[in-house]
Chain A
Amino acid sequence: MKDILTIFKIAIKAIWINKMRSALTSLGIIIGVAAVIVMLAVGEGSKAKIEKQMASMGSNLLMIRSGSTTSSGARAGMGAQPTLTLKDAYAIEENVPLVTQVAPSVSGMGQIVYGNQNWSTQITGTTPALFYIRSWEVENGSLFTADEIRQGSNVAILGQTVVENLFGVVDPVGQTVRIKNIPFKVVGVLKSMGQSAMGSDQDDTIIVPVTTAMKKLIGSQFPGTVNNIMVQTASTEDLAQAEEDITILLRQRHNITGRKTDDFMVRNLTQMMESAMEMSQTFSLLLAAIASISLLVGGIGIMNIMLVSVTERTREIGIRMAIGAKSWDIRLQFLIEALVLSLSGGILGIILGIGAALIIKNFFPDLLPIAITFTPMLLAFGFSGIVGIFFGFYPAYKASMLNPIDALRFE
């Protein structure tokens, strides 16, 4: 085994003697490995982005919306009409046992005033159920009570951005603000949620009871309607059954019989997210596969140079054989040379890849999602080693099969 070390030294020396050529040979591997690293980092990044989106949205969710407003053709007109009511939400809560949380909500924009400060922001009317679904936490103060929801009290919970813009250092809890000129008592402040996966500020919001919003803040031509109802089940397996139960219930409530089209739609958000995740994984795998092709091309480059090197060093091989090197010694020497070239290329490629990924992450965060993980590095390093052995084998074999007499005579 000590001999392996010596052969490594010989290989490194041979590579060092032809510095420029070795560097250019490794370049193929360096670029290949760097590309694989960056591509896998992008893949991991998009995965993390979707996961974050899923986490912020909550899991095991069904979203019920009015009509098929987004679908094509004549149905769009019909669907544009809001059909879901608050009562639908209560009915789902009572009649579909698989459902654990039901959160109806309405939303709109509005101005909020405190003292001489004003701010325009998103107003969402909902119930505490949405807080559970989305894992929103009230940092200071408390959630709406059931009474407040029922009575449509003028209470509000503010997002951090709103607090910063209106209150500065003053504690907002217990203060009175005016939303669309109606006085509201601030009962709580949401814990900061930061940016959403889409890049919007999730803290720039005001939450009020859904009943209050419907009556006083977000006027609709269709009284009693809500924008959507979010439903959560205990487990992913329950989603399909819950979807069916809700559809039956709502058809009944909306008097839709026979073959008539639903005037609402139930979307399985978890499923959507999962397919988005699958798609992003397929995509990143594809990117990595393309990047591996450059690694393969780098390997062919190594083979090419090693073949040139064997021809050029025929005399050296002859000398080594004459003084006692066996075929195996020669084969090992050239194989290790190829391996050292590819592995050093691999290491440099990893460094370059991480560097590029870090640059994208820190200077162009909106360009691509990036997540740097350890596994791709190990994978790329191992793969470059395999490339070295695979493409180094033929030149090494060729070298070892030389006839020492002919090799010594080679000019």
Chain B
Amino acid sequence: MALIKVEHIWKIYKLGDIDLEVLKDVSLEIDTGEFVAIMGPSGSGKSTFMNMLGCLDKPTKGKYILDGQDITNSTLSKLADIRCRKIGFVFQGFNLLSRTTAMENVELPMIYAHTPTGQRYQKAKAALESVGLGQRLDHMPNQLSGGQQQRVAIARAIVNDAPIIFADEPTGNLDTKTSIEVMETFYRLNRDNNKTIILVTHEPDIAQYAKRIVRFKDGQIVLDEINKNRVQVK
């Protein structure tokens, strides 16, 4: 059974008299352990699609089944709960809380998951160590490089043991060398921890880390194929 299954999804924004169709009848299935890159030009609807998959937004029409559960008509509170337990986000702009240490940033999702305090500390430390930031626990975001900040964000995304990670242009603000480091981190999370990773990017080089590439254009999927030229990471 597919981990993520969307059927005939539409997203329509009303702008005055005009209906803006951002997603038009999109259907897609993603299984556990997949690494999918969603590509497309800006305005193609890929970000809207990711927000929908990430339970940040609701479709206008269509059906969304996550982990065997129909969540199309879930309440906002229920969606927040799903985001908390099943989904981790990594953003282009890192989106760490400023003037808050790496540890506290990583602990944040566990506060909303009601993880006991003692356990919170252990898990946050372990997550930061797993992304190679064991020496930077008490650093503030502005004391960390872009790559390090993004790795804190990754630690935050995995700390609740969420099976799915959404990464929206995670390398958009990074140079090539750190981009590679970050992508290798995702690669290992997918390979070693069986995390399902959904990556939104417009850079072909970055998309090469994925197993499968889905291309959007004008609110529709125009291509869905296995990535034959996948980058290999040790």
1/0 per position for B98-118, CB-CB distance to A under 8 A? Answer: 011000000011011110110
1/0 per position for B46-83, CB-CB distance to A under 8 A? Answer: 00000100101100000000000000000011001101
Find the A residue at minimum CB distance from B107: A6
Q: Which residues of B contact A13 (CB under 8 A)?
A: 100
Q: Which residues of B contact A343 (CB under 8 A)?
A: none
Q: B57 to A408, Cβ gap below 8 A? A: no
- Which residues from 392 to 409 on chain A have a C-beta closer than 8 Å to any C-beta of chain B? 404-405, 408
Set A3, A318, A327: member contacting B80, Cβ < 8 A? A327
Q: A323 to B77, Cβ gap below 8 A? A: no
Q: A321 to B117, Cβ gap below 8 A? A: no
Q: A2-B117, A324-B113, A326-B112 are in contact. Are A405 and B84 (CB under 8 A)?
A: no
1/0 per position for A287-326, CB-CB distance to B under 8 A? Answer: 0000000000000000000000000000110111111111
Q: A2-B116, A315-B95, A405-B56 are in contact. Are A328 and B51 (CB under 8 A)?
A: no
Q: A319 to B95, Cβ gap below 8 A? A: yes
Q: B111 to A6, Cβ gap below 8 A? A: yes
The answer to whether the Cβ of B136 comes within 8 Å of any Cβ in the partner chain is no
Set B56, B100, B108, B160: member contacting A404, Cβ < 8 A? B56
Q: A405-B51, A405-B56, A408-B91 are in contact. Are A324 and B76 (CB under 8 A)?
A: no
Q: How many residues of A contact B (CB 8 A)?
A: 24
Find the B residue at minimum CB distance from A401: B76
Q: B108 to A326, Cβ gap below 8 A? A: no
Q: A324 to B95, Cβ gap below 8 A? A: no
- Which residues from 1 to 31 on chain A have a C-beta closer than 8 Å to any C-beta of chain B? 2-3, 6-7, 10, 13, 17
Q: B117 to A326, Cβ gap below 8 A? A: no
CA A329 to CA B114, docked complex, whole Å: 11
CA A319 to CA B84, docked complex, whole Å: 12
Q: A326 to B81, Cβ gap below 8 A? A: yes
Shortest Cβ distance from B62 into chain A, in angstroms? Answer: 18
CA A173 to CA B121, docked complex, whole Å: 83
Q: Which residues of A contact B56 (CB under 8 A)?
A: 322, 404-405
Find the A residue at minimum CB distance from B116: A2
CA A6 to CA B57, docked complex, whole Å: 28
CA A10 to CA B100, docked complex, whole Å: 10
Q: Which residues of A contact B57 (CB under 8 A)?
A: 405
Q: Which residues of B contact A6 (CB under 8 A)?
A: 111, 117
Q: A325 to B97, Cβ gap below 8 A? A: no
Q: A323 to B112, Cβ gap below 8 A? A: yes
CA A323 to CA B106, docked complex, whole Å: 10
Q: Which residues of A contact B114 (CB under 8 A)?
A: 3
Q: Which residues of B contact A328 (CB under 8 A)?
A: 77
Q: Which residues of A contact B151 (CB under 8 A)?
A: none
CA A103 to CA B22, docked complex, whole Å: 101
Q: A324 to B84, Cβ gap below 8 A? A: yes
The answer to whether the Cβ of B35 comes within 8 Å of any Cβ in the partner chain is no
Find the B residue at minimum CB distance from A16: B99
Shortest Cβ distance from A99 into chain B, in angstroms? Answer: 76
Q: A324 to B116, Cβ gap below 8 A? A: no
List 28 interface pairs A-B (beta carbons < 8 Å), by A numbering.
A2-B117, A6-B111, A6-B117, A10-B111, A319-B95, A319-B97, A321-B80, A322-B83, A323-B83, A323-B84, A323-B88, A323-B108, A323-B109, A324-B80, A324-B81, A324-B83, A324-B109, A324-B113, A324-B160, A325-B84, A325-B112, A326-B112, A327-B76, A327-B77, A329-B112, A404-B56, A405-B51, A408-B95
Chain B residues packing against A (C-beta within 8 Å): 51, 54, 56-57, 76-77, 80-81, 83-85, 88-89, 91, 95-97, 99-100, 108-109, 111-114, 116-117, 156, 160
